Amino acid sequence: MSDLIQLLPDHVANQIAAGEVVQRPASVIKELLENSIDAKASRIQVIIKDAGKTLVQVIDDGKGMSVTDARMSFERHATSKIKVADDLFSLQTKGFRGEALASIAAIAHVELKTKTEEDEIGTCIKIEGSQIGSQEACVTPEGTSISVKNLFYNIPARRNFLKSDAVETRHIIDEFQRVALAHPDISFSLVHNGNELFQLPTANFRQRITNIFGGKTNEKLVPVEEDTGIVQISGFVGKPEFAKKSRGEQFFFVNNRFIKSAYLNHAVVASFEGLLKDKSYPSYFLYLKVDPKSIDINIHPTKTEIKFDDEHALYAILKSAIKHSLGQFNVAPILDFERDSELDTPYDYKNKEAHVPQVEVDRNFNPFQAEKDFKSKFTGGNSYKKEKPAQWESLYSGLQSETEQDIDIKQIEFESEEVTGNLFGAREEEAEKSTFQLHKKYIVSTLKSGLLVIDQHRAHTRVLYEELLKNITVSAAISQQLLFPLRLQFNHQEIEMLKEIKESLEQTGFIFSEVKKDEVEISGIPNLISESEVAILLEQLLADFEKDLPDNGFSQTDLLAKSLANSMAVRSGTLLNSAEQQHIVNRLFACKEPALSPFNKTIFTTLSVDELDKKFA
């Protein structure tokens, strides 16, 4: 029997490794940015085309590489970071396994230009699918420039799994923001298809957060500081009133490396207990510094998950630090039985001097003069005159004669008491006979065969969903103009999503008078919603679209209609009068699909008389 086990060729092994390291263009951005940071770069520029599918280029002014290092960097597991296995537990750099460039070169066309400070000329290497095309000297500035073109060109199946350009661009922005937030001392820029998306100068942590997420973010941040023997915590958390419907602005950095940790996230949410609205998530930008020997960052190919030696202590410290900050800055209520707040000096009077009161004396004052004047008013004769009574009798002149006249009652026209119109198109007297509400959640109506029980939220969602789909399709939505336009603040990523769905939103009744870099101005809204609900509705809409932004028009319209209908529909726990109940019932059974909600949930159920009879058998 012949041998079956054989070694894989290098190019096949590199492609398999690429499946773990390079999942999408954003993965390439992350690996190249981390290499530039390890090279001590002070300025990094990222250029992408077609969401990274055509081109990903990262240019830095770091140390660069020699001719030999440039060639060795594309070999598997070639690294300058570790020499023995124990070095894995004292890492201070981003990359260390030496597989990123080899994996990228296996599935794309790569061009590397690099030069060190000592060399007069640089090196240019071109690789296609792990095969070196050329290596020659070139003129290039100090640092490194890597261009990755035609990603997954030799693996069509992987390329087909990539999402739309909008989704892939959003993933690239996510990775870019994570690296930029971890290193505010480095200048970053991001250019997509010739448009500059970010230009981030060197700054501190707070300024970097504000530069990425908009100027209004500054007023939402509460600083967190804690230094213990286990961990050093710094950063910011968002005020509870600015909590969002999505988890977009949640960042943990351990030793300047972005990580994901559900355990630590639970500690943050627990510290906000009692301060957040239902289904709202706090924003946080927290930087943790720990001993490299107390963590293991080599448990995941993308190094976004870390294993801590003492997670329980870290959980308690993080929770306490955030609670202390929220209380210290008067965000959370605190109790202090040793201090009387009424004795505190107001800020306006803290530095003011006390004024000596001035006493003024009226030497001409006579306390008996008033009594003398009062007596003379009644005894002096001329000083007091009796006023004649008002001619109030004239007000009733002619009234008696009018009442004595004969009035023909038949000629008087009374306003009709019949209800000619109703908001819900049904008379309340009739509605009371057919429906009633159960636990402010279900609408119960009678049938010839028994009872009909309807979930009011799902039913109204179905009604609004079909109405919104119709409005978007035929552009027949009605808008109500606002006397004062609404100005809403959003970060850069949310603004880009709004631009993608702006046309569909306008067909539902929204009117955007202006869209800026971090703000939108709305001058008209659909007549189905109130002005106070606009910010909540758009925030929930962006949270839904953050999970998936469809590329084609129909899927985008469908998701938009679902999200808006779900946000605008009456909630469970809302008290409905009889007319409103009947209106929902009538509109529901006029829908094309009354049995299922837009999310494929059952809307109503029936209970027949036979089933009731069995209950009493």
Per residue in 517-549, pLDDT (tens digit) is 778 999 998 887 888 888 888 888 888 777 665
Q: Please identify which residue in the block is written with the tokens 């004052």.
A: 365
pLDDT higher than 70, residue 397 = no
User: How many of the other CB atoms lie within 10 Å of CB of 478?
Assistant: 10
Write phi, then psi, for 412 (nearest 5 degrees): -80, 130
State the pLDDT confidence band at 125, using cuts at 50, 70 and 90.
Answer: very high
pLDDT in tens, 237-284: 999 888 887 777 889 999 888 888 888 999 999 999 888 887 788 999
Q: What per-residue confidence (pLDDT) applies to 5?
A: 81
DSSP state of 228: -
Fold of the CATH domain 205-328:
Ribosomal Protein S5; domain 2 (3.30.230)
- Phi and psi (nearest 5°) for 143? 120, -160
Q: Is 203 exposed, middle or buried (0-12, 13-18, 19+ CB in 10 A)?
A: middle
What does residue 432 show for φ and ψ, rounded to 5 degrees? -60, -25
| Residues of each domain in the chain carrying CATH 3.30.1370.100 | 432-606
Phi, psi of 328 (to 5 degrees): -65, -35
pTM of the model: 0.70
Of 154-158, 234-238, 296-300, 517-521, least confident by mean pLDDT is 296-300
Higher pLDDT, 95 or 264: 264
CB 322 within 8 A of CB 221: no
pLDDT tens figures, 323-360? 999 888 766 655 555 555 565 666 566 677 777 888 88
- Chain centroid to CA 93: how far? 31
Q: Using alpha carbons only, what angle is made at residue 320 by residues 316 and 323, rounded to the nearest 5 degrees? A: 145
**φ, ψ of residue 288 in degrees (nearest 5):** -115, 135
φ/ψ region of 257 (left if φ > 0, alpha if ψ in -120 to 50, else beta) reads beta
CATH of domain 432-606: 3.30.1370.100
Residue ranges of the chain assigned to CATH 3.30.230.10: 205-328
Q: Is the pLDDT of residue 585 over 50?
A: yes
Interval 114-127 mean pLDDT = 91
Residue 420: per-residue pLDDT:
44
Name which residue leads in pLDDT, 455 or 557: 455
Q: What is the pLDDT of residue 277?
A: 81
As to burial, measured by CB atoms within 10 angstroms (0-12 exposed, 13-18 middle, 19+ buried), residue 391 is exposed
358 φ/ψ angles, rounded to the nearest 5 degrees? -100, 130
Query: Judging by beta carbons within 10 Å of its beta carbon (0-12, 13-18, 19+), is residue 117 exposed, middle or buried?
Result: exposed
197-237 pLDDT per residue, tens: 889 999 999 999 999 988 788 888 999 999 988 899 999 99
* 559-564: average pLDDT: 86
More reliable by pLDDT, 465 or 353? 465
**Once rounded to an integer, what is the mean pLDDT over residues 62-75?**
86
Q: What is the per-residue DSSP string for 381-417?
A: STT--PPPPP-GGGGGTTHHHHHHS---GGGPPPPP-
Task: Look at 414 and 361; give whichever has higher pLDDT.
Answer: 361
Q: Which amino acid is located at 118 in the chain?
A: E
Strands (E), 1-108: 43-49, 55-60
Residue 431: pLDDT over 50: no
β-pair partners for 446: 451
Structure token digits, residue 191: 């250019």
Least confident of 35-44, 308-317, 359-368: 359-368
Q: What are the structure tokens assigned to 35, written together?
A: 């290499």
- Stretch(es) of the chain classified as CATH 3.30.565.10: 10-200
- Domain 10-200: top CATH class: alpha beta
